[in-house]
Amino acid sequence: MDVLVLMQEQVVPGCFLRARAIGLMPMIDQGEKDDKIIAVCADDPEYRHFRDISELPPHRLQEIRRFFEDYKKNENKEVAVNDFLPAEDAINAIKYSMDLYGSYIMEGLRK
């Protein structure tokens, strides 16, 4: 599951930090579903008050959309970014992924 965490400070990929999901960006990458969770750093004074993606300024949403479109374009991949969905959809996607992962682990233990 891919998560974009909005924050002021730079961090290294794979680090641990406290984040709050505020929305979901449905994306199709090369014909495959590749949704992105949009989150804010729970300890960042600039972003910690946001609870839903609808609270972000429109230009920030455009920056996020453009980042993924350009990032994939540089890889010569075709991508479609749909409208952003609210925090509830992000939380449901996270729960679904956790359940799927739990099922995968249990299946592996049965072998």
Residues 16-48 pLDDT 10s: 999 999 999 999 988 889 999 999 999 999 999
Cβ neighbours of 97 (radius 10 Å): 13
What distance in Å separates the CA atoms of residue 30 and residue 109, rounded to the nearest whole number?
Answer: 33
Amino acid at the residue 28? I
Higher pLDDT, 58 or 68: 58
The size of the chain, in residues, is: 111
Distance set, CA 21 to CA 2, 10, 73 (Å): 12, 19, 26
H or E stretch at 24 = strand 19-25
pLDDT computed for residue 29 by the predictor: 86
Q: What is the pLDDT of residues 59-80, one digit of tens each?
A: 999 999 999 888 877 788 788 8
Cβ neighbours of 106 (radius 10 Å): 9
What distance in Å separates the CA atoms of residue 39 and residue 33, rounded to the nearest whole number?
Answer: 19
Sketch out the chain's domains with CATH numbers: 2-110 (3.90.80.10)
